[in-house]
Chain A
Amino acid sequence: MMAHLTMEELAACANGAPGRDHLAACEACQAEVRRWQVVAEGVRQAAPAYLPPPQPLRHALAAIDGAPVRRRRVGLLSAAAAVVLAGTAAYALGTADRAVDPSRPVTVAAVYSTDCPDLKVAAGKLTSVSGSTMVLTTAGGMSITVRAGVGTKITHQVTGDLGELAEGTHVMVRGEGTEAGDTIRARQVAITPDAMKLPGLPNLGDRFNVTRRMAANGTVMGSVIRDGQDGFTVRAGDGTEVRVVTTTSTRLIKQESTVLGGLQTGEYTVAVGALEDDGTLSARTVQQNALTDEAGRHAPALPSGLRDRLPEPGEGLRDLPPLPDAPPEGLSDDLFDGLGCDADAIAGTAVYGAGA
């Protein structure tokens, strides 16, 4: 007679597999299969297969969104985290705090959380557009599918005329700053959304003026307060005024409505909307930044902290620590603090990179 069923076969039979021919002829094996069947049924009764509950996945995704866990620098200037430094010349103020151990895999966020539980932010290069769907790839190389609907507000950057600037217009200026940081010769002026968050710069008094430091490095953000013959004046979040000189080669960039097909692949694009259970983002707002991203980078530089060092006596603003080689990947984790559920403000902030 053939060998009795092996443990492997008995277990398989208890799980419903047909036994081999031997089983039909062997009462001992039949009894063993019955005993294992009772055990198997008991186990299944004790451990009924659940439909997976949504919470563990949601919590895991939320933790993923929050990654990497950054340790914030503690320093005098850390209150000015996430100052806008969108131009190459403007990196001087900040560096992102990141893990330094290169052997450790760093998890980079695919979407960013906001104050609003229903709104997440995806930001990266537009990889493809197909119908009402597009794919963004983040600076960290992650891809996320974004869906647009009839209500989705889609805008991209176009060039305009400097004559469109008026008092109160919010702008981000980039160009060449003077050593004192009181004047910028503008290369480009971007009209930023009214709703976006302007950087709330710390007022450290005469000792160290963050706006002047940024302006010395060529960037200022704020409102146009005075128009003039050869330019205008911008008042920054801390009240500091910076003179902006424009020339015939100064370019004005503004945001204009378009359709999904009007977006350019390869360009930095931001989508704000609800993260669906299938991992896609249903966009409420999509904004593309094809023009101000001059350095050809994946995203504007949005350092999450300022260097915690003040200038020494006799040291110029531009003598402070050197510019990092590259902007940090992605957006800083506190960029959207205070914006609530305003999808347009969140998108504009991600595109133009203001921080608190």
Chain B
Amino acid sequence: MNSSRPDGARQAVVTFDSHPVEPREQDDPQLLQAIARGDRGALVTLYQRHAGAVLAHLTLVTGDHGLSEEVLQDTMLAVWRGAGSYRSLSSVRSWIIAIARRQARDRLRRRRVTMVGQESLAERAATGPGPEDIALDRAKAGEVAEAIKALGVPHREVLGLVFGTGLTLAETATALEIPVGTVKSRLAAARAALARAMTERGYA
């Protein structure tokens, strides 16, 4: 056998653009930028930050925890693929929820279940305290929680985003992809529907 020529000092000739390692505490838009660069850790952090709220909301709207977990999974994949399309005009959480809604719609469509369309919902303006409010004046939270299940999806959505997820009305508008004015009228209509449902259930 021949002996080899020592060549341990070979230099790498590759130029290489690396991404700086991000510090741990990043705000949401920074996390999305990192995700857009393929940083798995950023996706994990984003998940820990928002997934609980998104899942709670999905479960409220669909009434199906298992389905909601599937939708959450689809949503995280969609976030991974679409992180680069985020524009800072909206909060990241409302952006994620908008994605989750579309994923939920796709899942439900595949299951041949239709969510109540927005257009089928009559937006009722707030009319101030009326007879329906009597039900709310005497209601307990547990009764309200029960009555919510009787509401249509658009009503559950708007209530869930404003009071469950804690979004502002503007963020809710982004998540639902409707104008803020519609959020306000839908919120009032949802409360009225809730009061009616409670009356029908004999809570009032």
Q: Which residues does A use to contact B, with CB under 8 Å?
A: 7-8, 11-12, 14-15, 28, 31-32, 34-36, 38-53, 55-57, 59-61, 63-64, 105, 107-108, 110-111, 125, 127-128, 135, 137-138, 140-145, 158-163, 165, 227, 230-232, 246-252, 264, 266-267, 277-280, 290-291, 296-298
15 pairs, CB–CB < 8 Å, chain A vs chain B: A7-B184, A11-B187, A43-B164, A44-B163, A46-B60, A46-B146, A48-B56, A60-B73, A63-B77, A137-B19, A144-B40, A161-B4, A279-B42, A279-B43, A296-B13
Contact B8 A277 (CB under 8 A): no
Q: How far does the Cβ of B168 sit from chain A's closest Cβ, in whole Å? A: 7
Q: Chain B residue with minimal CB distance to A128?
A: B21
A333 to B80 Cα, complex, angstroms:
20
Is chain A's binding surface mostly helix, strand, loop or mixed? mixed
Residue from A52, A59, A61 in contact with B43 in the complex, judged by beta carbons closer than 8 Å: A61
Decide if B194 is an interface residue (CB 8 Å cutoff): yes
A143 to B13 Cα, complex, angstroms:
21
Contact A32 B129 (CB under 8 A): yes
Decide if B38 is an interface residue (CB 8 Å cutoff): yes
A277 to B141 Cα, complex, angstroms:
36
Contact A145 B21 (CB under 8 A): yes
Q: How far does the Cβ of A112 sit from chain B's closest Cβ, in whole Å? A: 13
Chain B residues with CB under 8 A of A290? 10, 12
Beyond A42-B141, A60-B76, whether A55 also contacts B12 by CB under 8 A is: no
CB within 8 Å of A: which of B115-146? 126, 129, 133, 136-137, 139-146
Contact A53 B38 (CB under 8 A): no
Contact A43 B144 (CB under 8 A): yes
A192 to B166 Cα, complex, angstroms:
58
Chain B residues with CB under 8 A of A230? 2
Beyond A43-B60, A45-B142, A108-B38, whether A143 also contacts B1 by CB under 8 A is: no
Chain B residues with CB under 8 A of A108? 38
A31 to B142 Cα, complex, angstroms:
19
Q: Chain A residue with minimal CB distance to B47?
A: A57
Q: How far does the Cβ of A293 sit from chain B's closest Cβ, in whole Å? A: 9
Beyond A162-B4, A247-B2, whether A35 also contacts B136 by CB under 8 A is: yes
Contact A55 B163 (CB under 8 A): no
Contact A142 B60 (CB under 8 A): no
CB within 8 Å of A: which of B154-172? 159-160, 162-164, 166, 168-169
Chain B residues with CB under 8 A of A40? 162-163
Contact A165 B148 (CB under 8 A): no
CB within 8 Å of A: which of B168-195? 168-169, 184, 187-188, 191, 194
A298 to B21 Cα, complex, angstroms:
19
Q: How far does the Cβ of B33 sit from chain A's closest Cβ, in whole Å? A: 13
Chain B residues with CB under 8 A of A248? 2-3, 5
Q: Chain B residue with minimal CB distance to A246?
A: B2
Residue from B38, B55, B70, B168 in contact with A50 in the complex, judged by beta carbons closer than 8 Å: B55
Contact B37 A142 (CB under 8 A): yes
